[in-house]
Chains A and B, each alone.
Chain A
Amino acid sequence: MSPRLSGDNLFKTLTALLAVSAAFILMITAYELFVGSLPVLQKFGIYFFTGTKWNPVQTIVNPEIYGALPYLLGTLVTSAIALLIGVPLSLGIAIFLVEMAPRTLRVPVSYLVDMLAAVPSVIYGLWGYFVLRFWLLDYVEIPLSRYLGWIPIFGGTPQGLDVLNGGVILAIMIIPTVSSISREVIQAVPNSIREGAYSIGATKWEVIRNWVLSYGRSGIFGAVILGLGRAVGETMAVTMVIGNTIGPSAIPNSLFKPSQTMASLIANNFLEATPGTLELSAYIGVGLFLLLLSLSINVIAQVMVTRVLKVKGGAVE
């Protein structure tokens, strides 16, 4: 064998090791989280996922108990609000930039939208806390609760630090992710499809709705799921605006009630939790739960997006 070949082999082995190490880090993280959460999983079993009480302090009346359901709901509800607000906006941006905007506008606007991703999340949190909170309170929450307060999702006394604020902040934060991937997906739709549609007399709106979006739907769905992944894992900004309640009072049954997400619960309490206690194990358990949720979301998204981009490759050839 020539020395050059063995050098190649060495390089191949080295890069393979590096690639495997990334997967290995993920696996040991999951393993450590699992081991750390074993005490709480063994003690409370399914209650940890379905229960609503969270009490680290044993008293005469109330035992020490951990149920993570309110924080799972808090995470899902804020993320759902983020998608409801963020996805239509992002799709609008993507369609405008690819299908309608003049070239001189396309580059600077896409650049600015992508820049939203570069804003540190603590800045979004500060803005949500000092500015958005009072806008929502004065123009949305107080009027809605006065006239529609009898509808449960508008119930409670609005304070501005609640599920709605958390959801709106997340909506802004997922826009760059969703819009830039949707943009690429829409760009990947072969021009022959558009030309074909125009040639049978479709209007611009019809072309976009019936052909472009429909052709790219699995990719756009993937973009949405990636946005969801970002929303689920976001910690800092949400922690600053969601009001951080604990136990049954954290169940997000109204937009105007404070709640808490899984990520905020961990960020808030992990540092002061005493080592070796069930309480610490409970936070690690919530971490495991969160990791599994984010991983499955990302896997779904990857599958969806690659499916569309593969079609593009085929179409070009």
Chain B
Amino acid sequence: MNSKIVIAIAAIVVIVAGVVGYVYLSSSAQQTSSPTRTTITLNGAGATFPYPLLSVMISHYHEQNSSVQVNYQSIGSGGGISDLESKLVDFAASDAPLGPADMAKAPGALHIPETIGAVTIAYNLPGISTGLHLTGKVIADIFAGNVTMWNDQEIQNLNTNTTLPAKSITTIHRSDGSGTTFIFTGYLSVSSPAWNETIGQGKTVSWPVGLGASGNTGVAEDVNNTLYTIGYVELAYALQNAMTVAAVQNPTGNWILPSLNTIQLAVQVAASSGLPAGNQSWTNVSLVNANDPQAYPIVSFTYLLVYQELNVVPGMTQPKATALVQFLWWVVQSNGGQQYSSSLEYVPLPTNIVQIDEATIQSITFNGQHLPTS
């Protein structure tokens, strides 16, 4: 008898609380939404790597332009490209440029580099601080399972003043398909012919050895928690977790630690040799091994993808297309979206890339008409 009464009272309390909560929330929502004008919603989807940066940019943009609401779903580069091809989103983001097959399925798609990815080589060796010397070839040999001991002659030769432990190396790689893996294996393919011939570059590759961990966070955790490991993580994760990272040899022979400066320099130098226009294929763009004494070698773009002629997207209108162009323009400006990069340990776009992006964004049209960028 008692339990029935208790259940009845509990049910009444829950229902009353629900109704009161609903009324309260909907009334407060009305108060906030009543003064605003019609809102334009822009939808984007894609890569997870730029998501922390994009979400900060989007919330700042909304503060300045309350009539524009941008939604970004970080569902992965593949999902973003797929959504762009089926025209479910207004823009997509991808860590890898569109390949020939995807260019054919999304004709007229533009590449707009919006931030820079850099891969650091993190390790866990007691007593050995940041700055272990490694070359691309040795890193490839380690991740291919050809160099299995930390005191292998190949590593020792690069670090003559360091006593390396006689322990076996555990490599940590990404278990999930990832743009970080794409950049990293791209660098290894350039650095080691053997890697290029047997394993190659991809978002997922056939790792011969090592443990797989999910996400940059997973790799960072595994390296930090396990002795004698080596892994690769995005710059932001290495800096935020204060990981010990390798100084990687660049083409001029210098040992370079990853930092916002050495990476921005790499992009600036690599891009000065010429980049394709926004509507061309970017598959051959490579920022690795920039030829400057102070440039970090493992660097890549990550892209926003958008159609050049926006009327192909269902539901696109003149005001919406204008809002999209203005948002993209703001994202690449150094006093716009880019100003939030450094505090999140993302590398701001160098000036020469911003100029290329501006030209690309200015080429966007709706029903053949160019759109105002501000």
Q: A residues near B, CB below 8 A? A: 53-62, 129, 157, 159, 161, 239-240, 243-247, 249, 258, 260, 264, 267-277, 279-280
Contacts and interface: CB of A to CB of B under 8 A. Distances in A.
3 tightest A-B CB contacts, nearest first: A272-B177, A244-B212, A244-B175
Given A246-B207, A249-B207, A274 B99 contact: yes
A268 B212 contact: yes
Contacts of B294: none
Contacts of A129: 221
B177 A271 contact: yes
B206 A62 contact: yes
A59 B81 contact: no
A56 B205 contact: yes
Interface string B200-224: 1111111111111110000001100
A271 B176 contact: yes
Interface string B92-120: 00000001011001000000000000000
B3 to A, nearest CB: 13
A5 to B, nearest CB: 36
B214 A244 contact: yes
Contacts of B102: 274-276
B66 interface: no
30 contacts: A54-B206, A55-B205, A56-B204, A57-B202, A59-B199, A161-B213, A244-B214, A247-B208, A249-B207, A249-B209, A260-B212, A264-B175, A268-B175, A268-B212, A268-B214, A269-B176, A269-B204, A270-B177, A271-B76, A271-B177, A272-B77, A272-B176, A272-B178, A272-B203, A272-B204, A273-B177, A274-B81, A275-B105, A276-B101, A276-B105
Contacts of B205: 55-57
A107 to B, nearest CB: 13
A260 B204 CA distance: 14
A157 B178 CA distance: 27
B226 interface: yes
A280 B76 CA distance: 13
B249 to A, nearest CB: 24
**Which of B75, B101, B202, B221: most chain A Cβ within 10 A?**
B202
Contacts of B175: 239, 243-244, 260, 264, 268
B196 interface: yes
A60 B204 contact: no
Nearest to A279: B204
B321 to A, nearest CB: 25
A130 to B, nearest CB: 9
B200 A247 contact: no
A129 B206 CA distance: 24
A271 B206 contact: no
B231 interface: no
B129 interface: no
Given A59-B199, A274-B81, A275-B81, A249 B208 contact: yes
Contacts of A269: 176-177, 204
Contacts of A249: 207-209
Nearest to B47: A272
A1 B177 CA distance: 63
Contact of A275 (B85, B178, B202, B210): B85
Contacts of A53: 206
Contacts of B170: 157, 159
B283 interface: no
Contacts of A267: 176
A240 B201 CA distance: 25
A259 B39 CA distance: 49
A246 B196 contact: no
Given A57-B205, A60-B196, A159-B211, 5 more contacts: A59-B196, A59-B199, A239-B175, A274-B203, A277-B101
B79 interface: yes
A280 B210 CA distance: 24
**Which of A55, A271, A279: most chain B Cβ within 10 A?**
A271
Contact of A272 (B78, B185, B196): B78
Contact of B206 (A60, A157, A246): A246
A128 to B, nearest CB: 13
A54 B78 CA distance: 19
A75 to B, nearest CB: 16
B82 interface: yes
Nearest to B77: A272
Given A159-B170, A272-B77, A272-B176, A247 B99 contact: no
A253 to B, nearest CB: 15
Contacts of B185: 57
A169 B221 CA distance: 20
A233 to B, nearest CB: 19
A59 B200 contact: yes
A272 B198 CA distance: 22
A245 B211 contact: yes
A243 B177 contact: no
Contact of B211 (A54, A60, A161, A247): A161
**Which of A129, A159, A280: most chain B Cβ within 10 A?**
A159
B200 A245 contact: no
Given A244-B175, A244-B211, A271 B78 contact: yes
A179 B215 CA distance: 35
A243 B175 CA distance: 8
A274 B212 contact: no
Nearest to A60: B197
Nearest to A125: B214
A67 B6 CA distance: 58
A245 B85 contact: no
A61 B207 contact: no
A271 B202 contact: no
A56 B85 CA distance: 22
B33 interface: no
